Amino acid sequence: FETIGYWLQHMSYGYHEVKLFLASNMFDAGRHHEAFRKRALANGGGLGIESKGEINRMILESKGGWSETSLLLHLLRGLFIQTIYRYGERFAHNPAEKVMFARALQDKARHTAYGLQHLRYAVTHKQDKALVFQQLLNIGERVFARELQEPVVLEPLAVIFGGGIEGAKAGMREVHHMMGDFVRSYLASTDWIGVHRGRAFPKGLSRYLEA
């Protein structure tokens, strides 16, 4: 929500409908943050360790334009979070978690749908925008792939999907399935907006296509 808040003030007042929609996205993001934070604290162990958040920093510090920011916010990170929500609902440990993930998934699907439509429009109507997006994804995808190597990113999901530490090995198989679903969805989306990744797609992510 910090990213959207920054860009709203730079958007022309003529785009009031878009600005109002993005404001609702900020509200949704705040609700997600608070709901999942409280769920984590309910375990009694605190929030634990977090990743360096390199891709988040890229998004926050993006000043090239709203479309370039949306590319990372909605396409790369947005689809990843959406996939996590979908698997979170599938492997929820209780009815409350299932409702949380299901409703968050609805919100996130709405956010990413806007982002993809915006990006497709930008590629279609702005000369060389596809090339700019290609270059930005060349960087963003590699930063994202490197971030996935940090134990605090995927290993906790393995514990959740496996029903506990004892089931982490089985849970990691589900994590690989999740990553495969994400990568396939991501590549289908890049094709749809008119930015075909092809050989430029990093091995750190393409390896999940085998899952």
Distance from C-alpha of 41 to C-alpha of 186, rounded to nearest angstrom: 31
Token pair for 179: 């990553």
How far, in Å, CA of 3 to CA of 70, rounded? 10
Which pLDDT score is estimated for 48? 79
* Amino acid at the residue 179: M
Q: Is the dihedral of CA 147, 149, 155, 157 positive or negative?
A: positive
What CA–CA distance (Å, rounded) separates 205 from 148?
A: 9
| Distance (Å, whole) CA 13 – CA 179 | 39
Give the C-alpha separation, 68 to 134, whole Å.
11
Q: Is the pTM of this model over 0.85?
A: yes
Q: Residue 96: is it exposed, middle or buried by C-beta count within 10 angstroms (0-12/13-18/19+)?
A: exposed
Does residue 140 have a pLDDT over 90? yes
pLDDT tens per residue, range 66-91: 999 999 999 999 999 999 999 999 99
Segment 26-47, tens digit of pLDDT: 999 999 999 999 998 988 877 8
Average pLDDT over every residue of 187-192: 98
Domain boundaries, the chain: 2-210
For 2-210, CATH gives: 1.20.1260
Alpha carbons 185 and 197: distance in angstroms, whole number: 13
**Whether 71 contacts 137, CB under 8 Å:** yes
